[in-house]
């Protein structure tokens, strides 16, 4: 009984907690993760850089493996060599190897002998000294004229010692400096901004126009509304593939029509020339999103009370005056939300470009997201890619801030009453 | 009188033109999907006269993994819909009706994550998934929450706020606990809103591309949206198969739109409407 009362008092928290946990695990924690990656030269395909190392580390497993191989090769050598001096030298080197192993076990290793462990500057120097000493002794050994098994292989194994030390890949703000200096970031940012501005502009104008039309009563209005949902509901990658067929140079009907109209030089030029490709992408985006914009704005139009129009027309207001002084001001919140969401969506455009042009021709239609994706997953440069994405997030934040300030609307408003 | 007829003709023309533009790409792609591959590439490919039709492309498509991808999409989207709708309902009710500290902060945190570029979470999530051995599995439904949860919460807050308070107040007066009241009284009343949010979550998950592209890379684990993007091979494109696949993948979307258009419209507009 007491327990259920305790629960009831905290019902607000208990009900919201699952959602908060999911947001923390799959949104906030990864964002923090990206923020950390951005300060490291992290490259997934490079064994010594595939994690974040603030200080130097030793790869104990690799070190042990090298030691084991050296012992194995030296034992083979011991069977075949003849000179006394060689035998002595080999025994000496084996003692050095024992010494290195002991040093690691006593001074560096934790309980896990196969782990990657931190080392301080002093220990690192001693360790490298011991490894280098073994390497040099081996070189001396093989300069003796005797029957060795395979000096090249042994030396190659010994040179692995170098890779057992993993240097810190912390680079501070270096990645951000590089992002700002990166010419490709600049060109992709410019492309993304141009794409965002032009697409959202057309979507807003056409969407508003269509919303005003759909707000009138006519036969088949609900049918038009249903059909309007189709472009929005089709997955972007599928829509992109559809358009890539309509745009293709040999049998694409849209590219054929455009070239017949003289808008483009030839059907093949639709996606082969960078300026045409930009407009091709914009057209696909406008096709996909304008109906959605229209529905959003239609929702806003429908809550404007009819009485306002009736009384104003009694006062002799023209249609245009009604639009200018009733519709637009009352529609402002809807326009704001539609603009904000569409701008942020367009700015992070990925699927459409990835499938339609892949960023081509020659990287001229690459959006920031597409470039960041290539850096992270084709070149596996996670550190640099994360810095790029963070710069992108910052720009998104600035855009949102400017909208909120410029339009002066409280996004969440009194919803949290 | 004359003028009214004139505008209505103009209106008709605009509406017909609009519908034509909206539907044309899909209709043309559907038409192509029934044509032999050789005809699509021939010099009079765009000639409507003498067009020949075949179901070859669909027959060939059955040999690819596209249907397996559709199954993956269906399972992953369904899992996402069920758990996201559940936790979003709880959270939205808490935000819409209950009073507690830090409510505004938590609400802003949940809703604001939808504004971040998705690319920002993909890197760390990829690494975690690789370390846990979760790539190429249905676990991908979990990070889909990043995309769908804020939208679902937003839609549901709007719906819960519209339910009259009297019913739950009288239930609480009768000694029912808040959580009991939610499940017994609010949930049934909010069913239409919950349904709307479920549909929107399903569509969001079904259309997801980036996480699926990075996390489920194995051909047998690809979702439909990613699978279809791989049909555009590096060297040759079989438009017949590509268009047929496009039609197959689009059909579930069309069914959902036609069946649930009311809910979808209310889902879309509840974001823009402020009461």
Kindly identify which residue of chain A lies nearest to residue B118, measuring between CA atoms. A348
How many Å separate Cα B107 from the centre of its chain?
Answer: 23
Kindly identify which residue of chain B lies nearest to residue A354, measuring between CA atoms. B229
Q: What is the mean pLDDT of chain B?
A: 87
Closest to B239 (Cα-Cα) out of B62, B36, B27: B36
Are the Cβ atoms of B177 and A8 closer than 8 angstroms?
yes
Asked if the model's pLDDT at residue A143 lies above 80, the reply is: yes
CA–CA separation, A340 and A305 (whole Å): 25
Q: What is the ipTM of this complex?
A: 0.91
Mutate to test the interface with B, among A20, A222, A232, A237 (most CBs of B within 10 A): A237
- What's the confidence (pLDDT) of residue B53? 86
What's phi and psi for B233, nearest 5 deg?
Answer: -65, 170
φ/ψ bin of B99: left (φ > 0), alpha (ψ from -120 to 50), beta (otherwise): beta
Mutate to test the interface with A, among B4, B255, B274, B275 (most CBs of A within 10 A): B274
Between B205 and A417, the more confident residue is B205
Asked if the model's pLDDT at residue A409 lies above 70, the reply is: no
> Chain B residues with CB inside 8 Å of A372's CB?
119
> Chain B residues with CB inside 8 Å of A218's CB?
8, 11-12, 15
> Chain B residues with CB inside 8 Å of A4's CB?
177
**8 A C-beta contact, residue A285 and residue A311:** no
> Chain B residues with CB inside 8 Å of A344's CB?
115
Residue A183's contacts (CB-CB under 8 Å, 6 or more residues apart) are none
Exposure letters A8-42 (e unless 16+ CB within 10 A, then b)? beebbbbbbbbbbebbebbbbebbebbbebbbbbb
Asked if the model's pLDDT at residue A326 lies above 90, the reply is: no
- What's the confidence (pLDDT) of residue B274? 40
Closest to A282 (Cα-Cα) out of A392, A192, A358, A344: A192
- Here the tokens at position A396 are 């998104």
How many Å separate Cα A57 from the centre of its chain?
Answer: 28
CA separation, residue B134 to residues A43, B141, B203 (Å): 21, 11, 23
- Here the tokens at position B80 are 């996402």
Are the Cβ atoms of B117 and A393 closer than 8 angstroms?
yes
In A64-136, beta strands by DSSP E: 116-118
- What's the confidence (pLDDT) of residue A362? 86
CA–CA separation, A354 and A126 (whole Å): 51
**8 A C-beta contact, residue A32 and residue A26:** no
- What's the confidence (pLDDT) of residue A413? 47
Ranking A20-34, A73-87, B187-201 by mean pLDDT, the lowest is A73-87
CA–CA separation, A147 and B92 (whole Å): 80
CA distance B6 to chain A (A): 14
Closest to A399 (Cα-Cα) out of A349, A347, A335: A347
- What's the confidence (pLDDT) of residue B17? 94
Asked if the model's pLDDT at residue B6 lies above 80, the reply is: no
Are the Cβ atoms of A8 and B179 closer than 8 angstroms?
yes
**8 A C-beta contact, residue A163 and residue A62:** yes
CA–CA separation, A337 and A319 (whole Å): 25
CA–CA separation, A110 and A115 (whole Å): 8
Asked if the model's pLDDT at residue A247 lies above 90, the reply is: yes
CA separation, residue A12 to residues A414, B96, B145, B168 (Å): 18, 10, 21, 15
Are the Cβ atoms of B124 and A34 closer than 8 angstroms?
yes
Q: What is the DSSP letter of A118?
A: E
> Chain B residues with CB inside 8 Å of A18's CB?
86-87, 90-91
> Chain B residues with CB inside 8 Å of A7's CB?
177, 179
pLDDT digits (tens, 9 = 90+) for A258-283: 988 988 888 888 888 888 999 999 99
% of chain A beyond a pLDDT of 70: 97
Query: pLDDT band at residue B123, thresholds of 50, 70 and 90?
Result: very high
Average pLDDT estimate for A145-173: 84
- What's the confidence (pLDDT) of residue A183? 94
- What's the confidence (pLDDT) of residue A281? 96
Instruction: Give the number of other CB atoms < 10 A from CB of residue B3.
Output: 7
The three-state DSSP-derived secondary structure of A200-245 is HHHHHHHHHHHHHHHCCCCCCHHHHHHHHHHHHHCCHHHHHHHHHH
> Please, what are the domains in chain B?
64-270 (1.10.3720.10)
> Chain A residues with CB inside 8 Å of B161's CB?
415, 417
CA distance B137 to chain A (A): 17
φ/ψ bin of A172: left (φ > 0), alpha (ψ from -120 to 50), beta (otherwise): left
Average pLDDT estimate for A209-235: 89
Angle of CA points B25, A278, A343, to nearest 5°: 85
Asked if the model's pLDDT at residue B3 lies above 70, the reply is: no
Are the Cβ atoms of A12 and B142 closer than 8 angstroms?
no
How many Å separate Cα A249 from the centre of its chain?
Answer: 32
Cα dihedral A170→A172→A175→A177 (10° resolution): -160
- What's the confidence (pLDDT) of residue B1? 43
- Here the tokens at position A235 are 């997955």
Query: pLDDT band at residue B235, thresholds of 50, 70 and 90?
Result: low
pLDDT digits (tens, 9 = 90+) for A298-316: 988 988 888 888 888 888 8
Asked if the model's pLDDT at residue B41 lies above 80, the reply is: no
Closest to B149 (Cα-Cα) out of B190, B188, B109, B179: B109
Mutate to test the interface with B, among A52, A209, A216, A233 (most CBs of B within 10 A): A233
Are the Cβ atoms of A350 and B109 closer than 8 angstroms?
no
- What's the confidence (pLDDT) of residue A300? 87
**8 A C-beta contact, residue A264 and residue B239:** no
Kindly identify which residue of chain B lies nearest to residue A248, measuring between CA atoms. B239
pLDDT digits (tens, 9 = 90+) for A349-359: 999 999 999 88
% of chain A beyond a pLDDT of 90: 39
Residue B273's contacts (CB-CB under 8 Å, 6 or more residues apart) are A299, A300, A303, A334, B158
> Chain B residues with CB inside 8 Å of A374's CB?
none
Asked if the model's pLDDT at residue A40 lies above 60, the reply is: yes
Query: pLDDT band at residue A210, thresholds of 50, 70 and 90?
Result: very high
Q: What is the DSSP letter of A264?
A: S
Kindly identify which residue of chain A lies nearest to residue B258, measuring between CA atoms. A226
Residue B237's contacts (CB-CB under 8 Å, 6 or more residues apart) are A248, B231
Q: Out of A227, A251, A348, whose CB is closest to B46?
A: A251
Asked if the model's pLDDT at residue A416 lies above 70, the reply is: no
Are the Cβ atoms of B109 and A28 closer than 8 angstroms?
yes
Are the Cβ atoms of B210 and A338 closer than 8 angstroms?
no
- What's the confidence (pLDDT) of residue A415? 41
Which of A12-21, A171-180, A253-262, A281-290 is predicted most confidently? A281-290
Asked if the model's pLDDT at residue B20 lies above 90, the reply is: yes
Average pLDDT estimate for A186-202: 96
**8 A C-beta contact, residue A277 and residue A364:** yes
Residue A184's contacts (CB-CB under 8 Å, 6 or more residues apart) are A363, A366, A371
**8 A C-beta contact, residue B242 and residue A245:** yes
pLDDT digits (tens, 9 = 90+) for A65-91: 899 999 998 888 888 888 888 888 888
CA distance B80 to chain A (A): 12
Asked if the model's pLDDT at residue A189 lies above 90, the reply is: yes
Q: Out of B177, B210, B228, whose CB is closest to A238?
A: B228
- Helix ranges (H only) for chain B are 2-33, 37-41, 56-61, 66-97, 103-112, 119-132, 145-162, 166-173, 178-181, 187-189, 191-207, 210-215, 224-229, 239-259, 261-270
């Amino acid at each position: 009984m007491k327990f259920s009362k305790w629960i009831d008092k905290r019902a607000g928290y208990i009900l919201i907690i699952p959602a908060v946990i999911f947001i923390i695990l799959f949104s906030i924690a990864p964002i923090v993760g990206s923020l950390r990656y951005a300060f490291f030269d992290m490259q997934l395909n490079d064994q010594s850089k595939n994690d974040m190392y603030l200080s130097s580390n030793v790869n104990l497993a690799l070190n042990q493996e090298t030691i084991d191989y050296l012992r194995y090769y030296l034992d083979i050598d011991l069977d075949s060599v003849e000179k006394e001096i060689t035998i002595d030298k080999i025994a000496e080197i084996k003692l050095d190897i024992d010494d290195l192993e002991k040093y690691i076990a006593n001074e560096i290793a934790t309980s896990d002998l196969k782990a990657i462990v931190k080392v301080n500057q002093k220990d690192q120097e001693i360790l490298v000294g011991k490894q280098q000493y073994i390497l040099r002794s081996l070189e001396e050994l093989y300069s003796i004229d005797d029957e060795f098994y395979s000096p090249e292989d042994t030396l190659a194994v010994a040179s692995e010692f170098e890779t057992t030390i993993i240097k810190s890949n912390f680079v501070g703000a270096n990645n951000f400096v590089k992002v700002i200096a990166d010419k490709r970031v600049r060109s992709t940012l410019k492309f993304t901004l141009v794409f965002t501005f032009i697409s959202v502009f057309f979507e807003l104008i056409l969407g508003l126009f269509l919303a005003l039309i759909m707000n009138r009563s006519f036969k088949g209005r609900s049918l038009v509304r249903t059909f309007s949902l189709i472009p929005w509901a089709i997955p972007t990658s599928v829509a992109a593939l559809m358009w890539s067929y309509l745009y293709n140079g040999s049998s694409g009907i849209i590219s054929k029509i455009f070239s017949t109209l003289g808008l483009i030089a030839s059907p093949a030029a639709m996606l082969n020339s960078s300026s045409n490709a930009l407009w091709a992408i914009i057209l696909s985006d406008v096709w996909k999103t304008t109906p959605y914009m229209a529905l959003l704005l239609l929702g806003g139009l429908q809550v404007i009370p009819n009485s306002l129009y009736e009384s104003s027309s009694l006062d002799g207001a023209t249609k245009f005056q009604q639009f200018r002084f009733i519709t637009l001001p009352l529609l402002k919140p809807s326009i704001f939300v539609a603009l904000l969401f569409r701008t942020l969506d367009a700015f992070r455009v990925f699927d459409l470009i990835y499938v339609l042009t892949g960023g081509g021709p020659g990287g001229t239609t690459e959006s920031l997201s597409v470039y960041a994706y290539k850096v992270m997953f084709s070149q596996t440069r996670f550190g640099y890619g994360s810095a790029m994405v963070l710069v992108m997030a910052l720009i998104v934040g600035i855009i949102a801030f400017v909208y909120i300030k410029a339009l002066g609307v409280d996004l969440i408003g009194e919803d949290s009453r | 009188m004359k003028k009214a007829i004139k505008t209505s003709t103009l209106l008709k023309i605009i509406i017909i033109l609009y519908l034509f533009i909206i539907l044309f790409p899909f209709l043309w792609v559907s038409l192509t999907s029934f044509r032999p591959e050789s005809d699509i590439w021939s010099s009079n490919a765009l000639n409507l006269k003498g067009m020949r039709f075949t179901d070859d492309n669909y027959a060939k498509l059955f040999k690819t993994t596209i249907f397996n991808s559709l199954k993956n999409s269906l399972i992953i989207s369904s899992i996402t819909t069920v758990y996201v709708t559940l936790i979003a309902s709880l959270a939205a009710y808490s935000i819409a009706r209950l009073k507690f500290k830090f409510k505004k902060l938590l609400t802003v945190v949940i809703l604001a994550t939808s504004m971040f570029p998705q690319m920002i979470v993909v890197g760390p999530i990829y690494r975690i998934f690789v370390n846990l051995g979760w790539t190429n599995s249905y676990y991908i439904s979990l990070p889909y929450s990043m995309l769908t949860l804020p939208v679902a919460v937003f839609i549901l807050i709007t719906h819960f706020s519209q339910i009259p308070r009297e019913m739950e107040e009288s239930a609480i007066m009768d000694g029912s606990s808040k959580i009991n009241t939610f499940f017994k009284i609010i949930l049934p009343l909010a069913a239409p809103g919950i349904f709307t949010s479920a549909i929107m979550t399903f569509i969001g998950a079904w259309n997801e591309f980036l996480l699926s592209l990075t996390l489920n890379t194995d051909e047998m684990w690809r979702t439909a949206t990613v699978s279809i993007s791989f049909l555009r091979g590096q060297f040759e494109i079989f438009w017949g198969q590509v268009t047929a696949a496009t039609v197959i993948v689009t059909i579930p979307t069309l069914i959902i739109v036609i069946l649930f258009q009311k809910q979808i419209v209310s889902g879309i507009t509840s974001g823009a409407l402020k009461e």
